[in-house]
Amino acid sequence: MGELLVILIGVGLFYYLLFIFPTQWLKVEHVRVPLGIDKKILQISDLHVERNRIHPDKIRELLHREKPDYVFITGDFTAREKYIPLIKPYIEIFQEYGIEVFAVFGNHDYRTYELSLQLRPWLNKHGVKVLVNESIEFSDFTLIGLDFYRKDPHGVSKAFAGVTSMKPKVVLCHDPNDLTEVSEPFDFMLSGHLHGKQFNVPFFFKFVSKGQLASRGIYKGLHLVGGSYLYISKGIGQAHWNMRFGVRSEVSILTLTSAR
């Protein structure tokens, strides 16, 4: 009986270290992107609040330390309307620091019709501006938000329709494969969706179809694609299974440096 207990404890510890610990050990990626402006962005992607083991206090500590100018959230808040209240502790931290928050929706945010109807007004009410194929002009850059749900076949062109300035163009989207749908010029695209594989198994995206970028090995980090920068976050939460293997939960501090 004693030997069996030792084996069970060993198996449990092995399971925790390999699959659970990476979801609790937050990695903060610091990335510099030469856009010719002086702004610092906190990007959070794939919150998946029902499968998230990163306590809001860790985000509070990060905001206090890094003092970003904006927070950009690139989709997948939750997959069920009953979990929407769990988002509030994270949003309250942004309100506490008075930081503007902009977001786009991902595929999980459209899991049910009722969810999409409730989530957008709830976020807007709590100070998160959700961009649905639209743009916002700032003094030194233009922010463009692409919605995941393509109910409007002209959504991408509508998102860029009001963009007339020559300032750097920053695009928020959930799926990095949206890059292949954008014909208009832009400077920097922020995305998530792929979770850095979530399970770091060799050739994973050769067998699991997640678009042409992933099949080419472009599924995490900073890339220069077709003359534009693309950053793919590994996400802070988990999809489907609340586990990771060889991939830590991530948030990103993106410095849009003034040195080009």
pLDDT tens by residue, 30-81: 999 999 999 999 999 999 999 999 999 999 999 999 999 999 999 999 999 9
pLDDT tens by residue, 110-153: 998 889 899 999 999 999 999 999 999 999 999 999 999 877 77
Which of 159, 168, 110 minimizes the C-alpha distance to 139? 168
pLDDT tens by residue, 161-183: 989 888 999 999 999 999 988 99
* pLDDT confidence of residue 100: 97
Question: What predicted TM-score, i.e. pTM, was given to this entire model?
Answer: 0.94
pLDDT tens by residue, 187-221: 999 999 999 999 988 877 777 788 888 888 899 99
Domain coverage including residue 30: 2-256
Dist CA 116 CA 155 (whole Å): 17
pLDDT tens by residue, 73-112: 999 999 999 999 999 999 999 999 999 999 999 999 999 8
Q: How many domains does the chain have?
A: 1
Cβ(140)–Cβ(39) below 8 Å: yes
Strand arrangement, sheet containing 134-137: 134-137, 142-145, 169-172, 188-191, 228-232, 221-225
Dist CA 148 CA 75 (whole Å): 8
pLDDT at residue 1 above 70? no
Q: What are phi and psi of 194, to 5 degrees?
A: -90, -10
CATH of the domain at 22: 3.60.21.10
| Exposure string for 85-112, b = 16+ CB within 10 A, e = fewer | eebeebbebbeeeebebbbbbbebbbee
